[in-house]
Amino acid sequence: MKKLGLFIIAIGFIACQSENKTSNTTDTTSVVTTGDSLTFKYDSVKVYSKTPVSVDKNVTDTSKAVISYPLFNDEKVNQFVETKIKLTADSGKNYKTYNEYATDFIKGYDDFRKSEKDYPQTWFLDINAKVVKQKPGYLSLLNTYVNYSGGAHPNSVFIYLNYNPATHQEILLDSLIQPGSLPKLTAVAEKIFRKNEKLSPTASLKDGYFFDKDTFKLNDNFTITDQGLMFLYNPYEIKAYAYGKTELVIPFSELKEIAKPNSLLSPAN
Last residue of a domain, one of 150, 170, 190: 170
Q: Residues of the chain whose pLDDT is less than 50?
A: 2-35
Residue 209 is assigned to a structural domain of this protein: yes
> Is the distance from CB of 230 to CB of 221 less than 8 angstroms?
no
**Cβ burial, residue 8 (10 Å; 0-12/13-18/19+):** buried
The predicted-structure confidence for 15-64, as pLDDT tens digits, reads as follows 333 333 434 444 444 344 444 578 999 999 999 998 887 766 776 788 99
Q: Are residues 214 and 177 in the same domain?
A: yes
Q: Are residues 134 and 66 in the same domain?
A: yes
Q: Are residues 235 and 181 in the same domain?
A: yes
Q: Are residues 159 and 185 in the same domain?
A: no
Position 27 scores a pLDDT of 46
182 CB contacts (<8 Å, ≥6 apart)? 173, 174, 218
What range does the domain containing 164 cover?
25-170
Position 117 scores a pLDDT of 79
Q: Are residues 72 and 194 in the same domain?
A: no
Q: Are residues 47 and 160 in the same domain?
A: yes
Q: Are residues 49 and 150 in the same domain?
A: yes
| DSSP one-letter string for the chain | ----SS-B---S-SSPPP----S-EEEEEEEEEEETTEEEEEEEEEEEEEEESSS-TT---EEEEEEEEEEES-HHHHHHHHHHHHTT-SS----SSHHHHHHHHHHHHHHHHHH-TT-----EEEEEEEEEEEETTEEEEEEEEEEESSSSS-EEEEEEEEEETTTTEE--GGGTB-TT-HHHHHHHHHHHHHHHTT--TT--STTT---GGG-----S-EEE-SSEEEEEEPTTTSS-GGG--EEEEEEGGG-TTTBPTTSTTSTT-
Q: Are residues 43 and 105 in the same domain?
A: yes
Position 55 scores a pLDDT of 67
Q: Are residues 213 and 185 in the same domain?
A: yes
